[in-house]
Each structure stands twice: as structure tokens, then as C-alpha cells.
Amino acid sequence: MRAYYYDNVPGDQRLPHDYIPSKPVFTETLISLGVKYWTIPVEGHESKVDAVAQEQGYKNRDTINVSKEGLGAVYEEKIKGFFQEHMHEDEEIRYILGGSGFFDVRETPSDAWIRLAVEPGDLLVIPAGIYHRFTLDEANNIKALRLFKDEPKWIPHNRSSETDINTHRIDYLKSIGVTA
């Protein structure tokens, strides 16, 4: 996984949107935001992903293929929805099996976007309450294993004055040392 500050230049969301020269984001910054990641080679990944799942308390999983073929008629709608700035009341855990894409997370308190370029072998945990979004890159395809603490669910709460006071958002801010 490569992490860097998003350039905020208008244009296709699927482009890298990297500054020239790049402004990398270091592991310490991601840790301070509660973002976790591991690199686990796809070949033979099962036992290592199972170990992380057990250690983190993830009991359920499914696989998603985000592509025109995988999502069919709802593809365009889903891609637009994934790129809307939102938060979840649960962690978002993704292990990339194939393809590639971008997760953008909001740095707090600066409110800058940090782009996380993911590819096969990346296991990413985005904490509950952090504002983020997702998009494919120009290859238009990603296959990911989704891990869940409880029953599989993916409920986005688009950023608003209501999400700013959501208990999970407030708890997230406290966990990174920011008072709401």
C-alpha cells in the first residue's frame, strides 16, 4: 500500500491525484488516525488472514468484485456511492485479492485527504467513525475479501452535521486525541 496526500485537482477520481513531487504519508500518521494495514501475499494468504481475523475479532467475511462485470446494472450507482464522503459505525476491513483502487481517508484535524493506493496482498482496516471514500483506479476492477466483526453489513453515513455528532464519530475523535 502506498499512502500520500491527495492533490484535490478536479478531474477523474480514478486517476492517482498525487502531487508532483509526491507528498508521502508515513506510517506514524496512519497509526495516529487509527488506520491499520498489513501486507500478506495473496498466494497462501488464507492462514495469515485467518490469524489477523481471529486476533482482531472478525467473525464473518464475504468477497466483493467491484467491476462492471461484478456489479452489473448497479455499477455506476455503486461507484458514485462509494466515492461519497462517509463514515461507518463499524470498521471497514478489506483484503485485496485482485485488481487495485484507492481508499481516501480524512486526516484530522487538517481535513486533508490521504490517498491509500491498494493492490493485491494489502489488508486495510479503516476505523469506525473516520470520514473516507473509495474509488477504483483506471483498471476499473478490484476484488476484495471483506471482513466483519458481526454479520456482514455495509451502511454508509454520508458526511453531514448529523454524522459530525454521531456517537461513533465522537468516539473515533476521542480515540485519536481530538475533542469534538
Binding residues for Ni(2+): 86, 88, 92, 132
Binding-site residue positions for Fe(2+): 86, 88, 92, 132
Rg (C-alpha) for the chain, rounded Å, is: 16
Let me know: does 118 contact 96? Beta carbons within 8 Å.
yes
DSSP 150-173: SS-----EESSHHHHT-HHHHHHH
Tell me the three cell numbers of residue 47: 492462514
170 touches 163 (CB < 8 A)? no
Task: Confirm if 22 and 115 have CB atoms less than 8 A apart.
Answer: no
Which amino acid belongs to residue 8?
N
CA torsion sign for 146, 126, 79, 168 is: positive
Cα separation, 2 vs 23, whole angstroms: 11
Count of C-beta atoms within a 10 Å radius of residue 5: 19
Q: Which residues are annotated as a binding site?
A: 86, 88, 92, 132
